[in-house]
Amino acid sequence: MSAPAVSAASTSGTTVPATGEVAEVAGAGDPGDLGEGRVVRIRFAKRGRVRFISHRDVARAFERALRVAGLPVAVTRGFTPHPRIGFGLALAVGHESDAEYLDVGLDRAVEPSSVVEDLAAVLPDGLTPEAAVDLAPGAPALQEAVTSVEYLMVTGVGAEVAAGGVAALLAAGEVEVARSRKGRRSVEDVRPLVRHLSVVGHGEGWSELHAEVATRPRGLRPSELLEALGAVPGPAAGVEFYEGRVLRTRQWMERGGARLEPLEADPRPRAPEVHAS
């Protein structure tokens, strides 16, 4: 858009185009200050081409969809009010999911099923709300409460080698993998994070793995799990487990030994019906 910036554009005030103007997305990745009112928790899928957009992009798409749908989203007080929305664990760019969640603070109660319907009509193709519940007051935020997630991962390694690697990893006492977070590199034992791992499908030169990984003390990325498979001594040692399509299938919250799906974990108790007598 050359017009409005023209007094500067003919000579361009900065060397790098105006990346500084990219808007901050309020609430993206924020566990969420959902306010005092009603909160609806929504499960949605991220499938197809939209898998190439980032967690922040998904957050912004929901914020816009909520506005277009005209839902009564609660906003924070203060100088720069932003919508009270809480997102769960980030999904890596390029991965698909059948189990993404967000919590939305509302100024008044709205039937969860109509939230799903209204959003479905306006969200981009591939971001598909599936179900929603009213959340109990004071329910823990998604990022704090989710304890494990499941993935289906295609890897460019044949079934036999893959099965060997899986068995070796599960049998190992510890599996050290070099990881980097926010620029800091460290070597960590990732074995305790792997709750379940199996080969569930295969073809010529590829196999599909099913994994459940813990999110505490922090999450294990599919790419790190694949790297770990090649790092364990055994039949798959040194093999590069190329990452193919990755689908997150489930997220779980652990409560007293039981695994609960986030929509089932903290539903708002139904108001007792009042009967006139």
Partner 1 sequence: MSSLWPRIEPLLARVEKPGRYIGMEGGRRRPVHGPGRVSWLLVYPDTYEIGLPNQGLQILYEILNERADSVAERAYAPWTDLAAEMRAAGVPFFSVDDHRAARDFDVLAFNLSTELVYTNVLECLDLAGVPLRSADRGLEDPLVVAGGHGAFNPEPMACFVDAFVVGDGEEAAGEVTEVVASWKAAGRRSRDDVLHDLALLPGVYVPSMYDVFYDGPALREVRPRHPDVPAVIDKRTIADLADWPHPSTPLVPLVDVVHDRLNVEVFRGCTRGCRFCQAGMVTRPVRERPEEQVRTMVAGGLRRSGHDEVALTSLSTADFSGIDDVVAGIVDGSTGCGNVSVSLPSLRVDAFTVGIASELQKGRRTGLTFAPEAGTWRMRRVINKMISEEDLHRAVDAAYSQGWRRIKLYFLTGLPTETDTDTLGVAELARDVVAVGRRHTGRATCTVSLGGFVPKAHTPFQWFGQNGVGELRRKIGLVRDALHRSGAQLRWHDPEATFAEGIVSRGDRRIGPVIEAVWRAGGRFQEWSEHFSLPRWLDAMAAEGLDPDWYVTRHRADDEVLPWDHVSAGLHKDFLRQDWHDALAEHGLPDCRWTPCYDCGVCTGYALEHVVGSSVPPAGGSQGTGQDPSRGAVVPVELATVRGAG
* Cβ-based nearer residue to partner 1, 67 or 218: 67
Residue 266: helix, strand or coil by DSSP?
A: coil
What is the smallest separation between the CB atom of 152 and partner 1, expressed in angstroms?
16
User: Token pair of 141, please?
Assistant: 């935020």
Closest separation between CB of residue 105 and partner 1, Å?
A: 15
Q: Which is nearer to partner 1, 56 or 250 (CB)?
A: 56
Residue pointed to by tokens 């906003």: 75
Rg of the chain over CA atoms, in angstroms? 22
Positions in 95-154 near partner 1 (CB under 8 A):
122, 124-126
CB of 238 vs partner 1, minimal distance in Å? 23
> Which of 75/170 has CB closer to partner 1?
75
DSSP one-letter string for 173-231: S--EEEEEETTEEEEEE-GGGEEEEEEEEEETTEEEEEEEEE-SSS---HHHHHHHHHH
**Which among 6-14, 154-162, 170-178, 252-260 is the span making contact with partner 1, rule CB under 8 A?**
6-14
- Cα–Cα dist 73/47, whole Å: 25
> How many whole angstroms separate alpha carbon 261 and alpha carbon 129?
16
Beta-carbon neighbour count of residue 15 at 10 Å?
5
User: Which member of 71, 80, 240, 265 binds partner 1 (CB under 8 A)?
Assistant: 80
Judged by beta carbon, residue 12 or residue 113, the one nearer partner 1 is: 12
Question: Is 78 one of the binding residues for partner 1 (CB under 8 A)?
Answer: no
- Least CB distance to partner 1 at residue 52 (A): 4
- The reply to whether 16 sits near partner 1 by the rule CB under 8 A is yes
DSSP 8-state symbol, 54:
-
Total binding residues toward partner 1, as defined by CB under 8 A: 48
DSSP type of residue 156: S
- Looking at the Cβ atoms of 17 and 183, the one nearer to partner 1 is 17
Q: Does 57 bind partner 1 (CB under 8 A)?
A: yes
d(CA 245, CA 203): 14
Using the rule CB under 8 A, which residue among 29, 31, 56, 131 binds partner 1? Answer: 56
Contact status, residue 90 vs residue 56, Cβ threshold 8 Å: no
Residues lying near partner 1 in the complex (CB under 8 A): 1-19, 21-23, 49-50, 52-54, 56-57, 60-61, 63-68, 75, 79-81, 93-94, 122, 124-126, 243
